[in-house]
């Protein structure tokens, strides 16, 4: 008898592990939007931001490339800089976002080039939005896909559809968010055609106290992007350190970026 | 006239009398002529290949393209509501033979084993008889481009993508609004390479470019106008007229810029306007990055020929001085028996004329034979050389008019080279010439 009970219990346990956990109650549109806003707010610094990052790109048939760069952000007017510091060949190169325009500077030619928001940063599979503040609630409408177990996490799954008249690199995103912490765990980005283009994993979430926010700001210690069209291509971003102290007033200018290469 | 023929015979006999010297000069003249023929043939071959390639793959004789800017920092190479533009073209370009419209784009082609960035041209294969005639298909069926989501690639792209007819590839690009998009295509034809332009170009149905870039049915990349053959030299004048007519019809037209459309994105993105601007270009503009190379080849050709001709002229003059010195008594005798100064002048000029004529004739024939042998060998050239030759094979184009021009030019130059020595010979006093010991 005890053997039968053990067998039944084991079968029940196996069944519970095999079957995905499904939300017992679907979230309303309003709840989803609030959830998404919370995801954004968790990563918002509401002030200045400086981080040291390491980027590595693996591409099939090509030599791996690696960069070290510093990212500067100002939430107030959505200004943004990425300044490359390694390797030597890329020193002084950088991206500057001001007035909704993204500019690239190459000190070897001394020229500024206007780039689109969909620019692959340093030729990797990362975009400006991967380093900038999260604005998912502003740019997308969420759709509930229930809950699943992702590793050890209970994840809320959502499909985000780009809002009309907003220019987005990925019109559709599927998001897995840790229900408890509201940290993004996984992201799938789709083309207009519905084809899966990129899968991203976010891990080693860390927090830093932000004076301007009067609270903690969360950021992923590691981001991994996998190209789903050209398999074997991948990008790793590691955020080594973060500082939320105020930055110089004239930092987000072309002159400042140019001065870094002199 | 009788005197002329007499002088002609004297000149010819003199050439035979000094066979070695004559042969040496004739060989030198033949060599320069042959080289001139070959260099001209190379330059003409490059030019013909360029016109053929450019007007098949990427351009008409005159093009009406343009850019549409959704925002001031983002543009796409499209012409919206193109039917109206076609109407204006048809009414104002009577030199036109026919027109086609093509989609323009740039995308990544990804196969199972490789990827490459290519220019994507959308065509309506049913209305492109010239394209079908010029592009040589080595595998597959070009007519299948009429089916949606199909693709024609060139041999060099096949090497990179490792695909064959029937394989599926993915086209990945951004729409004009910056959204990522993909279209899956099937390879239906593989074509022989047509020089550098074919290394970076692929062809898909025009509907596929519209799907990839999310364009409306009334939008195209460019209207390519093909002129009747006799009006092709007038492309620039026709393009200028078309710009004026389009402006008068209310369109914003870009200033003339002798560069292909894909080199204008940076400039256009920097400008602050939005909406549609048209860009009228010629085939020379669209392949200007190639014509610059042709100018370099032509320049080198001219420099080389000038140097060689200078050497030949020096040789001829030197030989004439020696001949005059050796034949001073003969000149004196001829003058004494009644030959006038201009007769002596004519005699020496005729000698050089005959040498030049014979040398250039031999050189022209020799150069033509060598060119024909090179063409029949169909020599494949390395990629670096293809940049200069505009073809993956060495192709020399010899035309009768070029041969005649080369022959006449060099004959004239060699004849004129003898002018001064002949003039000096004609001015020799007969008495002192007859008693000259040299």
Question: Exposure pattern of B34-52 as b/e (b: 16+ CB <10 Å)?
Answer: bbbbbbbbbbbbbbebbbb
pLDDT, tens digit (0-9, with 9 covering 90-100), for A133-155: 888 999 999 999 999 998 889 99
Nearest CA in chain B to A198: B180
Predicted local confidence at residue A234, as pLDDT: 93
**Closest approach of chain A CAs to the CA of B49, in angstroms?**
33
SS3 for B353-422, per residue? HHHHHHHHHHHHHHHHHHHHHHHHHCCECCHHHHHHHCCCECCCCCCHHHHHHHHHHHHHHHHHHCHHHH
Of the candidates B407, B403, B307, B410, the residue with the CA atom closest to the CA atom of residue B41: B403
DSSP letters of B46-63? HHHHHHHHIIIII--SEE
CB pair distance less than 8 Å for A116 and B110: no
Establish if A20 belongs to a structural domain.
no
Listed range (A100-104, A146-150, A184-188, B64-68) with the worst mean pLDDT: A100-104
Q: Which two tokens stand for residue A11?
A: 């079968």
CA gap B243, B256 in Å, rounded = 9
Contacts of A162 in chain B (CB under 8 A): 179
Percent of chain A clearing pLDDT 90 (strictly above): 40
Contact B122, B221 (CB under 8 A): yes
Say if residue A16's pLDDT is above 70: no
Q: What is the pLDDT along chain B (438 residues), one digit of tens a residue?
A: 777 787 788 778 888 888 888 888 888 888 888 888 888 888 888 777 777 777 778 899 999 999 999 887 778 899 999 999 999 999 999 999 999 999 999 999 999 888 888 999 999 999 998 888 888 899 999 999 999 999 999 998 998 899 999 999 999 998 888 788 999 999 999 998 877 777 888 999 999 999 999 999 999 999 999 999 899 889 999 999 999 999 999 999 999 988 888 888 888 888 888 999 999 999 888 887 777 777 787 888 888 888 888 888 888 888 878 877 888 888 888 888 887 888 888 888 888 888 889 999 999 999 999 989 988 888 877 766 766 565 667 778 888 888 888 888 888 888 888 888 888 888 877 777 666 655
Binding-site residues on chain A for chain B (CB distance < 8 A): 60-61, 100-101, 113-114, 116-118, 162, 167-171, 189, 191-193, 195, 197, 229-230
Q: Which two tokens stand for residue A151?
A: 């590793």
Establish if A6 belongs to a structural domain.
no
Cite the beta strand spans of A165-195 per DSSP E. 172-178, 184-190
Establish if A5 belongs to a structural domain.
no
**Closest approach of chain B CAs to the CA of A230, in angstroms?**
7
CB pair distance less than 8 Å for A117 and B170: no
Name residue A58's beta-bridge partners: A234
Predicted local confidence at residue A120, as pLDDT: 82
| Minimum-distance CB partner of A191 among B71, B182, B270 | B182
Contacts of B149 in chain A (CB under 8 A): none
Q: What is the CATH number of the domain that holds A179?
A: 2.50.20.10
Interface test with A, best of B149, B180, B182, B263 (most A CBs within 10 A): B180
Q: How much is the average pLDDT of A161-183?
A: 89
Of the candidates B133, B136, B121, B137, the residue with the CA atom closest to the CA atom of residue B59: B121
Q: Is the ipTM above a cut-off of 0.90?
A: no
Name residue B219's beta-bridge partners: none
Establish if A62 belongs to a structural domain.
yes
CA gap B434, B438 in Å, rounded = 11
Question: Cβ neighbours of residue B251 under 8 Å, at least 6 residues apart?
Answer: B85, B276, B277, B278
CB pair distance less than 8 Å for A230 and B269: no
Contact A239, A46 (CB under 8 A): no
Predicted local confidence at residue B209, as pLDDT: 95
pLDDT, tens digit (0-9, with 9 covering 90-100), for A41-83: 988 877 888 999 999 999 887 889 999 999 998 888 888 899 9
Q: How many domains does chain A have?
A: 1
Q: How far apart are the first and last CA of chain A?
A: 82
Predicted local confidence at residue B344, as pLDDT: 82
CB pair distance less than 8 Å for B183 and A193: yes
**Closest approach of chain B CAs to the CA of A4, in angstroms?**
51
| Minimum-distance CB partner of B74 among A113, A116, A168 | A116
Establish if A15 belongs to a structural domain.
no
**Closest approach of chain A CAs to the CA of B271, in angstroms?**
10
Contacts of B71 in chain A (CB under 8 A): 167
A80 is in which domain, residue-wise?
A: 29-259
CA gap B413, B372 in Å, rounded = 27
Predicted local confidence at residue A25, as pLDDT: 58
Listed range (A13-27, A233-247, B9-23, B244-258) with the worst mean pLDDT: A13-27
């Amino acid at each position: 008898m005890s053997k039968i009970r053990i067998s039944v219990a084991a079968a029940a346990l196996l069944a519970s592990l095999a079957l995905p956990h499904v939300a017992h109650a679907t979230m309303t549109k309003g709840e989803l939007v609030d959830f998404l806003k919370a995801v954004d707010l968790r990563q918002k610094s509401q002030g200045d931001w400086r981080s040291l990052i390491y980027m590595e790109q693996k591409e099939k048939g090509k030599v791996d490339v690696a960069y070290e760069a510093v990212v500067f952000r100002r939430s107030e007017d959505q200004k943004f800089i990425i300044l490359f510091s390694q390797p030597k060949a890329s020193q002084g190169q950088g991206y500057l976002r001001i007035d909704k325009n993204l500019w690239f500077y190459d000190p070897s030619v001394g020229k500024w080039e206007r780039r689109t928001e969909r620019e692959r940063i340093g030729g990797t599979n990362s975009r400006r939005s991967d380093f900038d503040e999260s604005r998912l609630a502003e740019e997308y409408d969420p759709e509930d896909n229930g809950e699943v177990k992702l590793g050890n996490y209970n994840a809320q799954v959502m499909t985000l559809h780009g809002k009309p008249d907003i220019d987005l690199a990925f019109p559709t995103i599927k998001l897995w968010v840790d229900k408890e912490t509201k940290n993004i765990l996984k992201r799938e980005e789709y083309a207009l055609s519905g084809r899966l283009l990129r899968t991203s994993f976010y891990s080693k979430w860390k927090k830093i106290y932000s004076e301007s926010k009067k609270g903690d700001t969360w950021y992923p210690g590691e981001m991994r992007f996998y190209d789903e069209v050209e398999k074997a291509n991948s990008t790793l971003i590691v955020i080594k350190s973060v500082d939320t102290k105020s930055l110089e007033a004239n930092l987000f200018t072309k002159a400042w970026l140019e001065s870094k290469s002199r | 006239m009788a005197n002329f023929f007499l002088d002609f015979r004297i000149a010819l006999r003199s050439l035979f009398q000094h066979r070695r010297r004559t042969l040496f000069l004739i060989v030198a003249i033949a060599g320069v002529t042959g080289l001139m023929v070959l260099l001209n043939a190379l330059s003409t071959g490059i030019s013909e290949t360029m016109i053929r390639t450019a007007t098949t793959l990427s351009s008409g004789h005159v093009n009406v393209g343009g850019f549409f800017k959704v925002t001031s920092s983002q543009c796409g190479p499209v012409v919206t509501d193109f039917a109206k533009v076609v109407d204006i073209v048809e009414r104002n370009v009577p030199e036109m033979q026919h027109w086609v419209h093509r989609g323009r784009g740039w995308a990544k082609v990804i196969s199972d084993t490789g990827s490459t960035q290519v220019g994507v041209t959308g065509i309506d294969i049913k209305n492109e008889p010239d394209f079908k005639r010029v592009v040589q298909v080595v595998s597959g069926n070009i007519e299948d481009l009429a089916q949606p989501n199909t693709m024609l690639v060139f041999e060099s792209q096949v090497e990179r993508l490792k695909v064959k007819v029937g394989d599926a590839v993915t086209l990945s690009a951004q729409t004009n609004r910056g959204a990522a998009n993909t279209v899956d295509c099937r390879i239906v034809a593989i074509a022989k390479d047509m020089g550098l332009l074919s290394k970076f170009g692929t062809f898909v149905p025009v509907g596929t470019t519209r799907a990839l870039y999310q364009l409306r049915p009334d939008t195209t990349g460019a209207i390519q106008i093909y002129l009747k053959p006799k009006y092709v030299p007038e492309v620039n004048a026709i393009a200028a007229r078309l710009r004026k007519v389009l402006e008068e019809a209310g369109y914003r037209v870009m200033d003339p810029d002798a560069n292909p459309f894909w080199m204008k994105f940076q400039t256009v993105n920097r400008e602050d306007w939005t909406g549609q601007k048209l860009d009228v270009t010629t085939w020379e503009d669209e392949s200007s990055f190639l014509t610059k190379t042709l100018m370099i080849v032509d320049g080198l050709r001219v420099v080389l020929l000038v140097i060689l001709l200078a050497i030949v002229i020096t040789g001829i003059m030197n030989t004439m001085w020696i001949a005059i010195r050796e034949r001073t008594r003969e000149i004196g005798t001829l003058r004494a028996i009644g030959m006038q100064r201009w007769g002596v002048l004519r005699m020496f000029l005729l000698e050089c004329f005959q040498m030049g004529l014979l040398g250039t004739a031999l050189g022209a024939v020799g150069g033509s034979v060598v060119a024909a042998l090179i063409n029949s060998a169909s020599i494949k050239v390395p990629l670096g050389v293809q940049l200069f030759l505009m073809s993956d094979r060495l192709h020399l184009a010899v035309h009768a008019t070029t041969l005649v021009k080369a022959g006449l030019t060099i004959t004239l130059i060699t004849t004129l080279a003898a002018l001064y020595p002949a003039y000096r010979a004609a001015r020799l006093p007969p008495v002192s010439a007859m008693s000259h010991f040299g």
